[in-house]
Amino acid sequence: MKKRYSNLDDVQNKKSFNDMRKWMKERRSKVKDLTVQIQQSPTKKINELKENHSKTSFTWIGHSTFLIQMNGVNILTDPVWAKRMGFQKRLTEPGISLKDMPDIDIVVISHGHYDHLDFPTLRKLKGNPHYFVPIGLGEIFSKKGFQRVKEMRWWESTEYQGLTFHFVPAQHWTRRTLSDINTSHWGGWIFQQEQESHYFVGDSGYFRGFKEIGGKFEIDTVLMPIGAYEPEWFMAVSHISPEDSVKAFMELNAKRFIPMHYGAYRLADDTGPEALERLLKEWEKRELPQELLRVLLIGETIFDS
C-alpha cells in the first residue's frame, strides 16, 4: 500500500458529497463578472531575459508559474501553459509564450494538482531541466520518461550552481486519479543564494508553518497565493484568502509580497479582480508600506539590482 502524506497537525481536507452539492448550489446562485480580467503587461522583456546571466529577476507567466533568474540559473515554478483546466477555459493568456522562453535549468513543483503539474507543458520546455518535486511524485515522472528528477521531503535541501533549494511545508492536499489521493506530498520552495532568499509558497491554506518558515529563513521576496478561496467554508483549509495571505506575509517577516494564483483559471467562485481588490484593501487596512507590495501584470518582469 502506498504511503499517504498529511499536513502539519494532521489538518484534514475532507469534503463530503453533500458539501460538493452545497457548493455547486451556491455557485449557481452567484453572478460574477468575468468580462474584466487581470491585464497583460504592455512590455515583455523577452530579449533581456534571454541575455540575463547575473541579475535576479521575477517574471509572472500567470497563475503559479514564474520564471525566476538567480545567479545565471533559469528557474520555473509550477509550469502550466494549458489552455483549459477541466471544463474551464483559461481566462488569461500566459504572459510569455513557450517559444519565447529561455532555456530552463530547474523546474520546481509544489504538488501534483493539474493546475500546478502539467506534463504537456513540461515536454515543451526549452533546455534540459532538472526537476525538483515533492516526495511521491518521482514515480509518475519516471513513467512519463523524465529522468533528471529529485524527490524531496519537507525541510530537505539540495544545491545547484551556487543556489540552495529548500522544500518547506504547506497546508494542502493532492490528487490526479481516483486512487492516488495524497500519495505524494505538497509544499513550497525557498531559493537561496548567500544573503538572498525568495519563497515560492505554492498552494496553501493559512497555517502555523508560516511562522516556522519565517523563523528559519530571512526572506526577501514571497510569491504568495491569493485566489481560489471562495466559498471560504469549503476552501479555507487549502486555499489562503487575501486577508490571511497578508497575515502570513507579516509572520514571515518578508521584505516584498508578490501575489499569484489568481486570474488564470476559475478554480473557485472568486474572480481575479476580486482577489486583488481584497488584497489591496487589507494592505491599506493594516497600513503596510506600499513599497513592500509588488503586484505584477501578466508577463511583467522586475529585475533586482
Instruction: Encode pLDDT of 67-122 as tens digits.
Output: 999 999 999 999 999 999 988 899 999 999 999 999 999 999 999 999 999 999 99
Domain limits for position 250: 47-304
**For residue 23, what pLDDT is reported?**
83
Q: What is the pLDDT of residue 28?
A: 83
Is 13 within a domain? Answer: no
Q: Model confidence over 164-174: pLDDT tens digits?
A: 999 999 999 99
The Cα–Cα gap between 288 and 56 comes to 25
Is the Cβ–Cβ distance between 289 and 297 less than 8 Å? no
Sign of CA pseudo-dihedral 212, 215, 221, 226: positive
Domain total in the chain = 1
Tell me whether residue 163 is in a domain: yes
This prediction has a pTM of 0.96
Domain contains 21:
no
The answer for residues whose C-beta is within 8 angstroms of residue 167's C-beta and 6 or more apart is 132, 134, 152, 153, 154, 155, 156, 157, 187, 188, 189
pLDDT confidence of residue 26: 84
| CATH of residue 65 | 3.60.15.10
Please name the residues in contact with 294: beta carbons below 8 A apart, sequence gap of 6 or more.
Answer: 256, 257, 258, 302
Strand 301-304, strand 188-193: pairing = unpaired
Whether 289 maps to a domain, the answer reads: yes
Which triple of cell numbers denotes residue 39? 491585464
Which residues of the chain, if any, have pLDDT below 70? 305
120: phi then psi, degrees, rounded to nearest 5: -55, -35
In this prediction, residue 305 carries a pLDDT of: 67
Let me know if residue 292 belongs to a domain.
Answer: yes
DSSP, residue by residue, 9-21? GG------HHHHH
The verdict on residue 87 lying in a domain is yes
Residue 40 domain flag: no
Q: Is residue 183 domain-resident? A: yes
